[in-house]
Every structure is written in C-alpha cells, then in structure tokens.
Structure 1
Amino acid sequence: MSYNIYHNLVIKVSPEKVFEAVSLPEHLDNWWTLKSSGKPKLGAAYNLNFTDEYDWYCKVSAIEPNSSIHFKMTESDADWNSTTFGFDLEENENGTLVKFSHVNWPRENHHFKHSSFCWAMLLNGLKNYLEKGVVIPFEKRN
C-alpha cells in the first residue's frame, strides 16, 4: 500500500507561465528550493538543494510542455525516495487549474502529513509568486 498527496488550485496566469515556474530552476528557487538545477526534458536530472543536509536529486519521469511535468525522486531521504511528484495544468476561464500530486509514499507517518501541509503552503507561495510577484526568502519558507 502507498499513500498520496493531492492539491488542486487555480493560478490566474497562463499554463505556460505555471509550467516555467514549476520546471525552470530560476523560478523554482523563488518559491521552493534554495538552489536547483535541471532542464525540463524527459529523463533529465534535477538537483533540488534545500540545505547541505537536504541536497536531493530527481529525474523528469513524464513531461508534456506547458501541460504536465512529473519528477521521480532518485536521491533523497527514505520517505521521499520512492515518490513521484508532479503538476498537471489545465487552462480555464480563471487562468490555470494546477493539479498537484505527490504519490507512492511508503507510510502515512508524520513526515507524510507534514509534507502535505508544506506542499499546501508552498503551492500558495507559487500562486502568490505568479500572480503578485511575491518571493518569500528561502529561510522564511516553511
């Protein structure tokens, strides 16, 4: 059995802008990571650095430009290592419906529940970044 996190939200910008914000390091660093690297291409490796202790890697496991991107964790902690997270984007009359998923968690433990809460906060930060240009300094992100 595995456990999954799902969050849906509308961001009032185009799918292209959301896709850039969730796939390009220069945007990821403004709402999620301390510093990151990678290219939005199938099989491409990404480095997701949060601190020296949390210097993680993943690869692009599925991609459809401006519509969908999913990342399979390859080097992280025991809870995240089996997981895949991603963003599916649908244009609507209000902007872009973002369907976020983080799937295949091995346990429904504290880390799973905490990560679900953190993703909700980070996705709100993504929304504020894209709609209002708000960049929260990394050390103030939860």
Structure 2
Amino acid sequence: MKNQDFTIQFTVDQTPSSVLEAINNVRGWWSENIKGDTDQLHSIFDYHYQDVHEATFQIMELSEQKVRWHVLKNRFKFLEDQHEWQDSDIIFDIQAKNGGTLITFTHKELTPAYSCYDLCKDAWTHYIQGSLKQLITTGTGEPTPKEDATIQKEPEPVSSSTNIDIHHRLRIDAPIETVYKALTTVTGLKGWWTPSVISEREDPQTGDFIQFSFGSKQENEIRIQVATLHHYDLVKWNVIDAHPGWADTSIRFELEANIKGTMLNFSHTHWKEMSDEFASCNYVWALFLKSLKQLCETGKGRPFPDFDK
C-alpha cells in the first residue's frame, strides 16, 4: 500500500493572485527569521528555528496555479536520521473556485513512516491552516518572531536544598507554537486555567498585568505581571497580588522542542515555607498542567472549576 503525502486543503474568498502573494510572503506566515528571496523563481532561502530546525529550500515552480519548493538540506536537532525532509517537495496548488480560491498544501514524502511525522503534521497545520490562511484573509499572519541576538534567555534559577519550589515536567504532544499560544493569550489561558481572565489585550506583553479569578471570593484572585516572554521557549510571571502563600513568588514555563511535540518544565518558586497551602498548590498545579496538555492535544482543556473532575 502506497503511503500518502501529507496534505491540507482550505478555501478563501480572495483571488489566486492574492493567495500567491501571501504564500510568497513566507516571513509573514512562517518565520521572520527566513534569509533569502522567497518570491523569485529558482531563488534559494534558508529557514531556522533556534538550533532545533534548519532547512534550505529552492523555489522550483512559481505561478498563480502552483508554487513548489524543493528541500536542498534539512536538520532536526532531535533526530538521529537527518535524511527526513531531504530532497522532498513542498507544494501549494492554487485553484480558482466559486469566486474564491482553493489552496491545497502538500508535503511530498511526509508520511507516518517519518519519525517527525506527528510533530511536522501538527506544525504544518498550525502554520498553513492557521497562520497562512489568516494572512490571506486578514493581512496578518502569526509567524515565528525574529530572533533578537541582544535578548538573552533568562537562565533557570539554580535549585538548592534551601529553596521551597514546585516543579513539574511533562510532555505535551503538540507543537511548541501551540503550547506557547496557550500560555500567552487570554483565549489560551481561559482554555486551561480559569475562564475569568482580565487583561488589556488578547496577547499580554512583557510588563503587562493579568488578573485571574477562581470563584467569587476576593481571596481567590491572583494578579501577575508578565516578566519574560522568549519565543517560543520561556514564559515567566511574577505574582503581584494574591493570597499570602503566593506573595512574591514567580511562575515559570520553559518549553523544549521534542520529537513528539513539546517538553514543558514548570516551576513555581520562592515560597516562604513548606505549608499545607504549598502541598495543596503542588497537587492543583499538576491538575491544571494536565488541563493545559489536554487543551493543546485535543483542543479542549479542563479549566476551573472542572479541573479536578
């Protein structure tokens, strides 16, 4: 039985020429770290995400009917077999239909036989069905932001026998982009932690404040400040106002790309004492992190008040 290539289809109201323009704007929907021309026939461009994934493509076909990239070289940090993706083709078929356009994306030879299949399938779905479609229909996509060499990722605090911290580590079978979005948008946070989230914007930035409520009592409110956002691998909050046990603590989500998706290292640090509240919070965080995992993997989490059911 012949393995089928990975394919995604979607339709938009825009014209084929508008679709082609968006596809060629690879920095607008995939990554702002692209180097090289992406809108010229036979041009070569490079893609990278940190040191996790690097690839080089050549544009072999370019028209209002079809765009085809050929993978010249590829490397995944977490794979031993670096032949995956090598010499494969990435194709965008563009077809005028019913006054709009049908887009068929195909990654040739990307089949379940690949070790990276699940991760690559989910990542392509995120960028094609999500970011590219959004760029075509609204003019704004959600590419990986440009890496700033002047901004250094904050190192993880050194643990010692005197620290009173909560730590959890879990694998989430979803792309790192999906997990990061669940941690950094109001919609995402409502989907796994609590539906009562107040922020001045949908995607709070460094320095912004977010308020979370867990029930009607004021002592169940938590106000945090976003201390660090490092795409796509670190989110850190400082607790500004909460019940006494949480005062002056920090909450950290560190993400690592994994062959199955994402490894999450979670910590809630700087507790004052090993109290009953600390023990209860440790358990409750485990349940909420399970809710986060379910949201990212299935599209539906178990936020408050259903997290322990």
Range class of TM-score, shorter chain: over 0.9
Give distance in 1, aligned partners of 2:235 and 2:204: 8
Cα distance in 1 for residues equivalent to 2:283 and 2:295 = 18
Runs of 4+ more than 3 Å apart: none
| Distance in 2, Cα, partners of 1:91 & 1:83 | 27
Q: Aligned match of 1:37 in 198, 220, 227?
A: 198
Q: CA deviation at 1:92?
A: 1.2
Shift of 1:2: 4.1
Q: Does 1:49 align with 2:213?
A: yes
1:110 & 1:104 partners in 2: Cα distance? 16
1:33–1:50 contact (8 Å) kept in structure 2: yes
After superposing the two structures, state which structure 1 stretch, 7-16 or 46-55, moved more: 46-55
Shift of 1:41: 1.6
The Cα of 1:13 is off from its aligned counterpart by 1.0
**Aligned match of 1:19:** 180
How far apart are residue 125 of structure 1 and its match? 1.1
Question: Is the CA contact (8 Å cut-off) linking 1:59 and 1:71 kept in structure 2?
Answer: yes
| C-alpha distance in structure 2 between counterparts of 1:121 and 1:138, whole Å | 10
1:112 is displaced (CA, Å) by: 0.4
Gaps of 5+ in 2: 1-161
1:110 is displaced (CA, Å) by 0.6
More strand by share: 1
Q: In structure 1, what is the Cα distance between the partners aligned to 2:241 and 2:195?
A: 17
State TM-score, norm by structure 2. Answer: 0.44
* Deviation of 1:81 (Å): 1.2
SS, match of residue 79 in structure 1: helix
- Alignment partner of 1:138: what SS? coil
Matched, 1:105 2:266: no
Residue identity in the other structure for 2:301: V
1:74–1:55 CA distance, 2 compared to 1 (3 A): same
Maintained 8 Å contact 1:49/1:56: yes
SS of 1:112's equivalent in the other structure is helix
Pairing partner for 1:67 from 233, 247, 270: 233
Equivalent residue letter for 1:104: H
Distance between the aligned counterparts of 1:42 and 1:137, measured in 2? 24
Contact kept? 2:193, 2:303, Cα under 8 Å: no
| TM-score, reference length from structure 1 | 0.92
Give the structure 1 partner of residue 72 of structure 2. none
Q: Give, in angstroms, the shift of residue 31 of structure 1.
A: 1.1
CA RMSD of aligned residues (A): 1.5
The percent identity for this pair of structures is: 26
Q: How does 1:3-18 map to 2 (within 5 A)?
A: 3-18=164-179
Given that residues 83 and 103 in structure 1 are in contact (C-alpha distance below 8 angstroms), is that contact kept between their aligned partners in structure 2?
Answer: yes
Does the residue aligned with 2:244 lie in a helix, a strand or coil? coil
